[in-house]
Structure 1
């Protein structure tokens, strides 16, 4: 039986109480992680996952709101004062990996990115924090957020065109809706890839991502009888791809520009000059300015391919997410707690740059954000058919302890640490400023 805390309990006593509570709830946390892992759902369609989160919140006696950006779920735990609010986030969605052993046979969805441990860790941290909230000088928001992965884009664009959403990823859409206006700091965790020496990595950065849907319009003709009367949309696409490759030396190394391409439609049949072809292009970069520069160069390349053969090209540009460079003052808080919990040798404090992307970068433009990665308990390469979470204690339960301990440090003693982190993290964008930048980069252009 746990002891009762005094009114002036120290942060060490509060953490001990929270961690003891999490330990008592280990089986519940692990089972939630496994249940979500067995029932994957892709972004903006995570209705079952959202319901599982709702059941946990109801069991904790918390009020909540649902249906945020289609499937998001948000609850608030109140402290003894509301000076600041810290959000613990968990991503609801999966990726599509049809050959994964736990893939949904109908949709191909699979938790080959490990988001299920985020939801379990969030609930685990909440269970620990619920035992000490009356001693904290701030609130904690639990936020199940949809659609972190930039997939299923055609369907999401159909939702945009129907007016059901504006942005194709979950956190940007929730920002637009004002759902982060009442939050001051954010925390989220993520599993990593196996084969790493340390248990956790900190202070890494992620690239931003832009997606272009490109369609070339030519003129069909018989490929043998009268090809000279056609306009070959496939040739336009091929020339455009060559122009894209020719841009590579114009990118600065420090901007980490990565351009990937996929021919979605190359024509209807080999005996006909293709009249319509489709290309998808993804641009990743380490700064908004670098992404904007690369986007303009890709548009020029598309235009060049069309001009060369007399075709027309339509380019629909959507922003997936912005670059993510974590806020060092908040990293310091989480890093210190990780070292206390797991030992110095288990923490890689300066993990460096990642080549992947996350829409937590959008949120970091508005508030201090941190994203520790747990490396142990994972097996296989992330996003592959072999990726599995083998140890839900090392991943979900350990993360719950780290998140809860870090929140306590931020919100105890008058929330002095939260105030310091916000001040030292420097100026952030307002929601309107953020939306202006994002909307300026989402364009529809036609050339030819």
Structure 2
């Protein structure tokens, strides 16, 4: 029997209870912080030698140089060619859809000329080199390879360096095949904080990158947080989340399985259903208990639902939207009538899945939009990974003589007001 927490919006303590339910502390404890800090310092000062030592220790490898850990591009192609036909077709179709969606995201340079001939604008360029972290071993996330690599390539990034741990030499063929499809440029069989350090600082063999993207465990997340500033990062991701808003008219089995789809990620994942129909919530409870026994990962699903899941009864759909905006979920399913209209009132969500037929799982793999999304309520201020994360913007200013004269007078007054006389003189010389 799975017991999921039940909340009612009319309860005096509802918002306080909801806040407590959503709370997630992603801050590393001192032990993790100190371990990662030591690894970063060692890799920064000793380069390849430190990476090899940590790889041998943590991934149960026996190599003497990093060159042994670089996976040749021919090996990626071999993995692709040896895939079962159905798997290869699915990967290629997903890649095509992700790429087509990403093409719409490209930022373009722009500019305009003022009446006096002064030109102002913005120049958009891509990053030079990006690092992609991919979990390895028994974990197989070829979809993450596609979702992180393809937008970078669409942005025009010329060099993409992938790192993927291969504990005890265990290589995942799907991950290598996805790297081939996504046209990754170099792959190293390294992982953990040492891989993040190698990408951030560079070693004799691993080139330093401008940005590191991709998911990892607490050590990887902590390392990414600590190297931020030396390099860019995509985000610090928390556990997976789904919020389903349903009006009570969808098959309750579908809704239960949608909740399972995120709960099965790990014990800390969060699955929440919001509905104004109390009878429907009861039906979903029945479906949960009926279907969970059929799930291979039922223990994880149970732990997730009982620890961080919730069934929330609201007064109406307007209040459901209010609750959804407060939660600011990673994935939001609007399993309601007129879902596109309802979506217009959603201000905070990583990805919005509209209508009764749009399962969140489609977004994880092949719909097209990216599955790298803000978690832990960070959708209030951040967005899905996209092409724009691999592009930079430079401001363009080209003053005509007339423009320099008129702007120089304004700049002079403001600079002298701030006591920055050289600033003022620099502008005044051109008047």
For this structure pair, what is the TM-score category when the shorter chain's length is used for normalisation? Answer: under 0.3
Q: TM-score, normalised by structure 2?
A: 0.21
Q: Quick check: which has more Rg, 1 or 2? A: 2
Specify which structure has the higher proportion of strand.
Answer: 1
